[in-house]
Structure 1
């Protein structure tokens, strides 16, 4: 490992314990018939319930064009971006048209978070995030940028409840500054991972206003927007907010 860059060695050190546990699980996965004494991984959210439907759909799709064999647009195939725009407009009931030229495709959320950390943050900058949060954010945001995650605890000591509000980010911002760190952005997970809470516009809007005041970027992760129980609070995408302040 000492032949690798110092940056990569540090990233590997940060992920070592997590990877060790993950590899143990991968070597001995639970299966109700083939391996009933295996390990059931409760740390990774993968939906196996729609596996058959997905396989059937993917096998039925026979779309191929000559230009798919060559270099695509750097931001992704235009047809895919347009299809996603149509999907988001229909799913989130948007009253305006999304512009595919303002969309970029990446191979998964890990790649997107790593890229945003690289584009937005300078070395040793921090991104404020409510905790608990998705474990891999620490690695993803730092992979290329050497930035770091700064935790803003949701747990309210007096009530013992998780309370999400602009106040946790205000406290986190002040704590980071007092430690000599430079906050560069705020990360919001909505619906929250791992808590599962859904945050409405009235809750998130003050956070956007605070970010604008402090000249912070805001990254909204809505990866679980379509994984909501019927009896939960309705989800509203940030794409549907009445107004979004641009810092």
Structure 2
């Protein structure tokens, strides 16, 4: 009997594909840079992991007794304790998302990370083979979250030059739904990140309403991933970094849209959130599914919550952090100011080297265009969609000691785009950008050296 015959068909299917994003993360994390302990290690500018607030978090959590014997047992509920859900409702959603209707703790289910939230949501709204619509480029982790366990499909909508922040994309999305149905795929949901990952911008109120109308027209769920809601920093920018912002759209949560029932059946509207991004706690693994108007979905999520039960220690530490509105206010403002500082340094460096980019206003990253560094011998193939050149630049960066995430990981069809994460202290960012530019210049000269 072969090893593959020992596996279920769904597990075997997961072994046939590659996860470019996860492969890069593992490689970068296996040789982490440290100024003193490992100065030749890899500087990680590819993962959306905010390292700007570690000292503050250490101080906040220092008073939590992680050896308290009460934490050795199971927590109150696999869906999250009533107290922690209440803190999310009152000190996060009601305070910062400006909901028309106050959010309550019983309207949410907590999980061990936002990936688990999307996975459980997919399980609850999709049968195997059903589709979830996402416009490209999109956060590469959605592929795994949607497909690996629940066996739903990502219906990728390639906008092909259509403005991802404009109303014209709605027609392209409708065509994608219609084509999927003709091919036998039942589309069950539409997932979008606001602020956008990887493009780092927010959606206008007009476009959010258009998305809601689209979901209603097609009778599909719409999940707003708002995990970067408190990482919008454009208000803190100055000078050219401020002047180049293409619009003044603030972050607008779908929860703040008045009379939402005029645009979409309320039971179809949901929000995903978590602690990884705004609170810089990727390793704590805490996600939230907020569904204020769909008790049936919440009950379905609770029925499988035991598989994504948050650790008691994590819950205790998050309860400490979210229990004090003043701590949250100071933390988020400080974080936004530091993100603005790192972003400003990044765009100044990119301008200095004539590297095109899409100005960002939120999140931990910026979408950059490195096509000018594709070797001349590979330009034709790259324009035809062959990705050798993108991997060439990517490998050059890793060899030089910096990891930046390639466009393929975000289902971007155009070859040569990368997502650069700038949410690291400026001294590390400076060195990482120097290594990136050196690697790009090296890659542009010849691809022969890298392939020996």
Same fold by TM-score, threshold 0.5 exceeded?
A: yes
SS in 2 for 1:127: strand
User: Pick from 183, 206, 216: which aligns with 1:212?
Assistant: 216
Distance 1:89 1:61 in 2: 26
Distance 2:69 2:146 in 1: 35
SS in 2 for 1:210: helix
Distance 1:104 1:223 in 2: 15
Alignment of 1:88-103 (within 5 A): 88-103=93-108
Cα shift at 1:22: 2.9
Distance 2:16 2:27 in 1: 18
- Give the conservation status (yes or no) of the 8 Å contact 2:75–2:81: no
User: Pick from 184, 187, 194: which aligns with 1:183?
Assistant: 187
- Give the conservation status (yes or no) of the 8 Å contact 1:130–1:168: no
Alignment of 1:1-247 (within 5 A): 2=4, 3-61=6-64, 69-87=73-91, 88-156=93-161, 162-165=164-167, 166-231=170-235, 233-244=249-260, 245-246=264-265, 247=268
Q: 5+ unaligned residues in a row in structure 1: which ranges?
A: none
Describe the superposition over 1:43-95 as per-residue Cα deviations: whole angstroms up to 9, x where unpaired: 31000000110111112245979598345234210011111101211122345
- Which one has a bigger Cα radius of gyration? 2
SS in 1 for 2:258: coil
- Give the conservation status (yes or no) of the 8 Å contact 1:155–1:162: no
TM-score, with normalisation over the residues of structure 2? 0.50
TM-score, with normalisation over the residues of structure 1? 0.88
Distance 2:22 2:98 in 1: 40
1:19/1:202 Cα in 2 relative to 1: closer, same or farther (>3 Å)?
Answer: closer
1:217/1:96 Cα in 2 relative to 1: closer, same or farther (>3 Å)?
Answer: closer
1:74/1:38 Cα in 2 relative to 1: closer, same or farther (>3 Å)?
Answer: closer
Number of aligned residues: 244
Query: What RMSD in Å do the two structures reach over aligned CA positions?
Result: 2.4
1:181/1:73 Cα in 2 relative to 1: closer, same or farther (>3 Å)?
Answer: same
Cα shift at 1:122: 0.7
Structure with greater helix percent: 2
Describe the superposition over 1:163-219 as per-residue Cα deviations: whole angstroms up to 9, x where unpaired: 444223212212312333211110011000000110022101111112112110111
Distance 1:224 1:123 in 2: 29
Cα shift at 1:162: 4.1
1:32/1:155 Cα in 2 relative to 1: closer, same or farther (>3 Å)?
Answer: farther
SS in 2 for 1:48: coil
Q: 5+ unaligned residues in a row in structure 2: which ranges?
A: 236-247, 269-452
